[in-house]
Structure formats: structure tokens, C-alpha cells
Amino acid sequence: MSRSSKEMIVGTRGSGLATAQTKLVASAVGQQHPGVHVDLRILKTEGDVRGGAFGPGDRGVFVHAIEQALLDGEIDFAVHSLKDLPSGETAGLVIAAVPRREDPRDALISRWDDGFEGLGEQASVGTGSPRRRGQLLLARPDLRIQPLRGNIDTRAGRVADGDLDAVVLAVAGLVRLGLPYAWHAIDPKVCLPAVGQGALALQARADDRTTIERLSVLEDPSTRFQVRAERAFLEELGGGCMAPATAWAREDSGKLRIDAMVAAIDGEHRFLESCVCDPQEGPDEARRLAQRLNDRGAQHWIELARQSPQPDAGSS
């Protein structure tokens, strides 16, 4: 496809969150490179067509169509919620930049307008994430976890409509969309965030040096260290982004602290492993955490979750 050297096309899903965060990136590229114009192209993915009911094996349902458009030269780069990306790299493509991460925690919107500790007895809580389900039930076995699907506004609106007492979403999505809902972040000690949650991945063709150079100014090295470690954990553990497992990495006095866990989706068990290491050693150390969890039976809990897929549609 022929276009001016001052024109770029960015591909994105058509959801409110996807377009909002892509517009933020397009604006940042324009600010860093005056005269470069970035056009948005909306692409429909398998995840958008199916609309939900995804299981642990459904990796990359929100990215394959976008990656193909990138490989075909229809777009110059793509903006993904990093937690939607399968942990392995796609041949011919690279993550050209990882911008500074938004708050990675989960958030609770509830009819009590209070945090997790303020949930009423046997409250109905909506989430389609096995990771969230297992951890929330561990903390509060009385909760009634209900399937949740739809875009962020639809999910959040189920509390206002009285369908649910509360829903759990990602803080990052709520912040980027600026939705008018009162929410409270959930302590990671209660619910460790998803791998890559709050982070974006700017993906380009491996041989497109111009685009890679333009995007590189948005790179945040600290966030890159964090998500490299988290993704290495998930790749070693297996199970994909819908497994009831996660690793959360963050800076700690110049070091990288990684907390990893696998949970039973019924809330009966949660196994934790942690380490502190140099940031460059994050991926190797994260893989060791995954191996330690596998030694403690992680694959059993992942398989149980695979047999009971929960509907979940989109990055939220």
C-alpha cells in the first residue's frame, strides 16, 4: 500500500476502550513527531464476532485479525492491550514499544459504593475471569460469582441496573475511558492483577525500521521489564490468559519484585511464589516461579478451569 512518509495507519478493535487508548497513542506519536499524521483503522477480530464464552485455550482471539492486517501492510502499527497478546511473539512482528503502564490493579464497582471489604453478605459479583473468580472466592467464600460479558460500559451498567451487586473490572480501562462510575481498587494482596494488565503493546513489522523508530520514543523501560517477566511466567506455565494464574512484577528499590500465583476457581486454594531480582533477570526468575508452581500442582487447577470456561469478552 502506497502512502506518504508522513502518514501512518494504526489498527485497532472497534470497542470503546480499544479506540480510546489507540487515540491516546496516536496523539502521543503526533506530539513526538510533528508533521506525522496518524489515521485509525477499525478492524473486527474473532473475539468481536464471537462476543464471549471464551475458554483458557482461546488465546489471541482479539489480535489475530489485526496482526494479519499488519503483516499484509494494510496498517503500519497496532495498539493492543498487552494482556490480550499471546505470550509468544508472532513471526515477522515485534513489540516496538511498551508505553508507561497505567494502574494494573482490579477495580470494584458496587451498589454499596464501597471497596471489596464493604461488600454485603452473599453479594452477587460479576466477572468472567477465572483468575479473579478464584482469588475473590478465597477471600470471601460467601460471594456469588456471576458470569459477565460485554464492553466495559455494559458491564459496569449492570450494577446501576440492579442486575448485580458488584462487578470487577480493570482500573486501567476505567481510567482511560473516564466513565462516570464510582470505583475502588482491590488490594493486590486480595487479587493479583492479570499478566500485562494496564500496559499497552505497540506492534509493528520487524522490518519496518521507520515505524519502529517513531514508536520507540514512547517506550518505558521499567514497564517493559515488568511485562517481559510477567509474560515469561505465563508462557512457562501455559494455559493462556484465561488460566486462573498470574504474575505481577513491579519496581522495588531498584529491583524487580515478582509475585506469582495459581488458584482453584472455586476459591479453595491459592498457591503463591515470589522473588526479588535484577530487572534484566526478570524473565528467567519468572520462569522459575512458574516451575515452582507447577511442582505444586498448578496444571491440575488450570485443567479444571479449562473444563469450566467462563464468558469474558474484551480487555477490562
Q: Cα–Cα distance between 136 and 132 in angstroms, integer?
A: 6
C-beta neighbour count of 213 within 10 angstroms: 12
In what order do the strands lie in the sheet containing 255-263? 245-252, 255-263, 270-277
10: DSSP letter: E
Helix (H, G, I), strand (E, B) or coil at 217: coil
Q: Cα–Cα distance between 114 and 17 in angstroms, integer?
A: 24
Q: Cα–Cα distance between 190 and 116 in angstroms, integer?
A: 9
- Active-site residue set: 84
Q: Which of 263, 239, 155, 246 lies closest to 196, judged by CA?
A: 246
Q: Cα–Cα distance between 273 and 293 in angstroms, integer?
A: 7
Contact 282, 137 (CB under 8 A): no
Q: Cα–Cα distance between 242 and 233 in angstroms, integer?
A: 14
Q: Between β-strands 255-263 and 270-277, what pairing exists: parallel, antiparallel or unpaired?
A: antiparallel
Per-residue burial over 238-263, b = 16 or more CB atoms within 10 Å of its CB, e = otherwise = ebbbbbbbbbbbbeeeeebbbbbbbb
The values of phi and psi at residue 75, to 5°, are: -130, 160
